[in-house]
């Protein structure tokens, strides 16, 4: 029953000084950090679209992913995570166990990133599991990263290897919150975006927002071992690089930075920011996306990735 489930949930949520009114009332009341701006993002995950519950996927993994993808959006803004609100539509069959499993995945990640669970809503229905999380972060005035600030001459950097996430990393998302804050404190970043739908698709979105284009250096793009494994299983000739360019759900960050800053960041010790950063291309004036191969030949590159499809 919902009443018992909510009671157990409230008992499991630790108290937090950022909440003037804690979970359990009609709404929570947050204390915004002094001299910081509030950053808000929301993401909805659905069984059959973002995960397949029971097909090697547990409710705890769904809970982890649902929170992690929102934290990744905060990372793309260089925002510090503060609080989240969770809304779930639980299947009537096994709904209690699924709800408890979701919480088992949410709470450890929230604790790891200093996030307070401020409240939410619970429904039951005859449909599949749906989880929607709204995440709230904070950033100093004028310091939020945006996707529309890339400048001609900037270099493009990525925070980790790409491709093949469907082999398991799509559920074990590692949001780059700490890395983003460390980079923001020490380096100049003109624009940023997280790779949720695919490297080429998300870079093209950044370029379109910025009114610029990009040339990606194909032999510089870091390819994940999962992309190698996935390509070895394929029968359609898809290469590891193809997977890195378009698979999506990597949740690494792409940064557009002044050339000197990008090279300094790429040369830094991974221990200083928590990951190795690689320069993968440059921002150019001509709109669109192009690829440069190891021999220096430049060809058009069609953005590829995941786009939700629905009728007009």
Rg of the chain over all Cα atoms, to the nearest angstrom: 20
Please give the tally of structural domains in the chain: 2
Answer yes or no: is pLDDT of 16 > 90. Answer: no
Query: Interior CA angle at 112 toward 78 and 69, to 5°?
Result: 55
**Are 159 and 135 in the same domain?**
no
Q: Does residue 312 belong to any structural domain of this protein?
A: no
**Are 111 and 27 in the same domain?**
yes
SS percent in the chain: helix, strand, coil, step 5: 35, 30, 40
**Are 262 and 215 in the same domain?**
yes
**Are 227 and 290 in the same domain?**
yes
Residue that terminates a domain, selected from 139, 165, 181: 139
What is the pTM (predicted TM-score) of this model?
0.95
**Are 21 and 72 in the same domain?**
yes
**Are 64 and 114 in the same domain?**
yes
**Are 161 and 293 in the same domain?**
yes
Three-class SS of residue 125?
strand
Q: Does residue 78 belong to any structural domain of this protein?
A: yes
Q: Does residue 149 belong to any structural domain of this protein?
A: no
Beta bridge partners of 258: none
Answer yes or no: is pLDDT of 232 > 90. Answer: yes
**Are 286 and 162 in the same domain?**
yes
> What is the structure's pLDDT at 14?
79
User: pLDDT of 195-229, one tens digit each?
Assistant: 999 999 999 999 999 999 999 999 999 999 999 99
As given in the structure block, the two tokens for residue 67 are: 């929170």
**Are 101 and 162 in the same domain?**
no
**Are 164 and 296 in the same domain?**
yes
Greatest CA separation for the chain: 65
Q: Does residue 206 belong to any structural domain of this protein?
A: yes
Q: Does residue 19 belong to any structural domain of this protein?
A: yes
Residue that terminates a domain, selected from 139, 169, 187: 139
User: pLDDT of 248-263, one tens digit each?
Assistant: 999 999 999 999 999 9
Report the CATH number at residue 20: 3.30.1330.10
Query: Strand 116-125 and strand 80-91: pairing?
Result: parallel
Exposure string of 209-219, with b = 16+ CB inside 10 Å and e = fewer, is: ebebbbbbbbe
> What is the structure's pLDDT at 1?
60
User: pLDDT of 158-179, one tens digit each?
Assistant: 999 999 999 999 999 999 999 9
How far from 14 is each of 4, 60, 114, 231, CA to CA, in Å? 18, 18, 11, 44
User: pLDDT of 88-131, one tens digit each?
Assistant: 999 999 999 999 999 999 999 999 999 999 999 999 999 999 99
Range of the domain at 251: 155-300
Ranked by mean pLDDT, which of 1-10, 25-34, 253-262 comes out on top?
Answer: 253-262
Q: What is the mean pLDDT of the chain?
A: 95
Q: Does residue 243 belong to any structural domain of this protein?
A: yes
**Are 107 and 18 in the same domain?**
yes
**Are 172 and 71 in the same domain?**
no
What is the CA 88 to chain-centroid distance, rounded?
20
Residue with tokens 């059959």: 48
Q: How far apart are CA 67 and CA 106, in angstroms?
A: 6
How far from 279 is each of 179, 228, 262, CA to CA, in Å? 16, 21, 7
């Amino acid at each position: 029953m919902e009443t018992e489930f909510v009671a157990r949930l409230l008992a499991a949520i630790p108290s937090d000084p950022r909440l003037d009114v804690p979970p359990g009332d009609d709404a929570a009341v947050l204390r915004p950090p002094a001299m910081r701006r509030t950053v808000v993002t929301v993401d909805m995950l659905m069984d059959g679209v973002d995960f397949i519950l029971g097909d090697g996927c547990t409710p705890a993994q769904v809970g982890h992913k649902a929170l992690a993808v929102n934290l990744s959006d905060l990372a793309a803004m260089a925002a510090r995570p503060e609080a989240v609100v969770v809304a779930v539509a639980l299947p009537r069959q096994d709904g209690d166990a699924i709800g408890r499993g979701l919480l088992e995945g949410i709470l450890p990640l929230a604790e790891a990133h200093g996030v307070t669970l401020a409240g939410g809503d619970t429904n039951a229905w005859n449909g599949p599991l749906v989880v929607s999380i709204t995440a709230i972060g904070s950033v100093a005035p004028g310091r939020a990263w945006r996707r529309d600030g890339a400048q001609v001459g900037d270099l493009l950097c990525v925070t980790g290897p790409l491709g093949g996430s469907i082999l398991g990393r799509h559920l074990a998302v590692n949001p780059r919150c700490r890395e983003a804050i460390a980079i923001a404190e020490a380096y100049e970043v003109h624009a940023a975006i997280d790779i949720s739908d695919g490297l080429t698709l998300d870079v093209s979105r950044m370029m379109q927002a910025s009114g610029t284009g990009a040339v990606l250096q194909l032999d510089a793009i870091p390819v994940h071992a999962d992309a190698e494994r996935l390509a070895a299983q394929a029968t359609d000739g898809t290469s590891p690089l193809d997977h890195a360019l378009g698979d999506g759900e990597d949740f690494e960050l792409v940064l557009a930075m002044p050339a000197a800053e990008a090279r300094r960041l790429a040369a830094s010790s991974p221990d200083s920011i928590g990951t190795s950063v690689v320069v993968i291309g440059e921002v150019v004036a001509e709109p669109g996306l192009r690829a440069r191969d190891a021999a220096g030949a430049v060809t058009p590159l069609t953005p590829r990735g995941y786009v939700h499809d629905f009728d007009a």
